[in-house]
Amino acid sequence: MAVETTVLPSGLRVVTDAMAGVGTASLNVHVAVGSRNETLDEHGLSHLIEHMAFKGTKRRSAFEISEEIESAGGDLNAATATEHTAYQARVLPEDVGLALDILADILTESAFDPEELEREKSVILQEIGAVEDTPDDLVFELFDAAAFPDQPIGRPILGHPDSVSKLGAPDIRAYLARFYGANSLIVSAAGAIEHVEIAGAAQRLFAGLPQVAPPAHEPARYVGGERKTRKSAEQANLVVGFESLSHTHEDNYAAHIYSSAVGGGMASRLFQEVREKRGLAYSIYTFNWSFADTGLFGFHAAASPRDCGELLKVALDCLAASLDDLAEAEVRRAKAQMKVSLLTALESSTARAEQIARQTAVFGRVLARAEIVERIDRLTVAQVRAAGRRLLSSPPTLAAVGPAGRAITADRVAERLRTG
C-alpha cells in the first residue's frame, strides 16, 4: 500500500492509495452524515440529497453531468447509509481532474430545480414502494425498527412517503449548511492516481466549503422486541437478532469472527443444520453490523410456514451450543474468510477508495493490512465464544414478513436460548 494523507487548511481530509498495476482511478467523497442525523421531519432527507446531487448544478444540467463522465468512459454513483453518504466516480487516469470537478460541482453547486425535485421525490416514493413489495428487504426494515424503536437509527434510510413528500429545497439547503462542511468531508482516491494532484484539486474545488459543527446523532438505545407483518406469500422471511458492538469496541473483531463462524458460509453450522441436514430453508446466513456506538448481530432465513417453528428452534439451539463448543476449525475458517474479504477490497480500486475513507472517518487513520491481519490471527476460540455470549445475552429482536404464525415471537426466542 502507498497510503498518503493530507489535511487541508479548511479541515478537509484527502487520503489516497496509489495501486501499482491498476489502470483506472476511483474517487470517493465521503460525507460524515446519514439517515441517523435526521430529525423526524427530515426523515429521508440524506437520501433525497444524494439523488438530487445528480439532477443539475449551476454549470451543468442533469444530462450534461451524465454525458461528460460517460464520454470519458467513466461512471458516477452514490449511496446513502445510516451514518454516512458517499459519492463516487471511476475514470481513466487522465480524467481524474474531470471526475473531481464533477463531484465537487454536484456537492457544492447543485441547483435543486423545483421540477427536478418533485420528479425525484416521485422516484423515491416508487423506491420505497419497491421495498414494500420485496419481503427480504422489508423484513430488515422491520428488524431495525424493532431493535431501535422511535429512533433515527431504527428508521428506513429511504424515508417514509409522508416525510419525503413534504421535503423541499429550503430543507435541503438548511441540511447541507448544517452538515456538508469541509471538516465533515473526506476525499479519497485509489488506483492510478497521484496524491499531490488529488490534494491540489480538492483544495481548489472545495475551497468554498465552510467548517461545520461535528455531525451529531442521538445515542442509540437498543431495545429489542418484535415487528411482524402478514403478507400473502409462499414463504415467511425471518430475521432474529441481538445487540452487537460498535466499530471501535475492543471485541468488535471477535464479534465479526463469531458471526462468520456460526453462519458465514455453506460450511457453517447454521447452514449445515438448517439447510443441509433438515431442508428447512433454501438459505440461512448471519450478519454483524457495526455503528458508531452500537451494532446488530443476527440471522436471516426464509421458510415455508410449516417449517418456521422448527427452523427457529434448530437455529437458536445451534447458537446456544456454539457458546460452549465452537471449535478451533470453525474459528480458523472464519478468520480465513475475513482475511480474504480484506484482500479482495485491496484488489479493487473502487472498494479501496471506499475502505480508506471509512477507516479514516471511524479511526482517524487508514489501518495497515498487517495490523488488521494480526488482530484477526491473535483471537482465541475462548475470545470468540465470549463475544458470542455477550451478543446473545441482549434482549432478542424478531422480525417477520409473511405467514410466520403467531407462535414465532421474541419471547419464544429468549425462552429457547435459556433452555435450549
Identify the three-state secondary structure at position 115. helix
Give the dihedral of Cα atoms 219, 222, 226, 228; nearest 10 deg: 30
270-289 CB burial, b ≥16 within 10 A, e <16: bbebbbeeeebbeebbbbbb
Residue 73 Rama label (left phi>0; alpha psi -120 to 50; beta): left
* Grid cell digits, residue 30: 465521503
Identify the three-state secondary structure at position 364. coil
CB 295 within 8 A of CB 244: yes
Element (H, E) at 226: strand 225-229
Report how far residue 178's alpha carbon sits from residue 181's, in angstroms, rounded to the nearest whole number.
8
Q: In this structure, what are the phi and psi dihedrals at residue 8, rounded to the nearest 5 degrees?
A: -75, 160
Element (H, E) at 139: helix 135-147
> Which of the residues 4, 42, 50, 243 is marked catalytic?
50
Report how far residue 407's alpha carbon sits from residue 281's, in angstroms, rounded to the nearest whole number.
18
Cell 495501486 sits on residue: 19
Q: Which amino acid is present at 110?
A: S
Neighbours of 417 (CB within 10 A): 18
HEC states along 18-67?
Answer: ECCCCCCEEEEEEECCCHHHCCHHHCCHHHHHHHHCCCCECCCCHHHHHH
50 labelled catalytic: yes
Q: Which amino acid is present at 252?
A: N
Going by C-alpha positions, the residue among 172, 171, 27, 55 that lies closest to residue 119 is 55
* Grid cell digits, residue 224: 429489542
Contacts of 52 (CB under 8 A, 6+ apart): 110, 112, 116, 117, 120, 172
* Grid cell digits, residue 338: 475475513
Report how far residue 116's alpha carbon sits from residue 227's, in angstroms, rounded to the nearest whole number.
36
Active site residues: 50
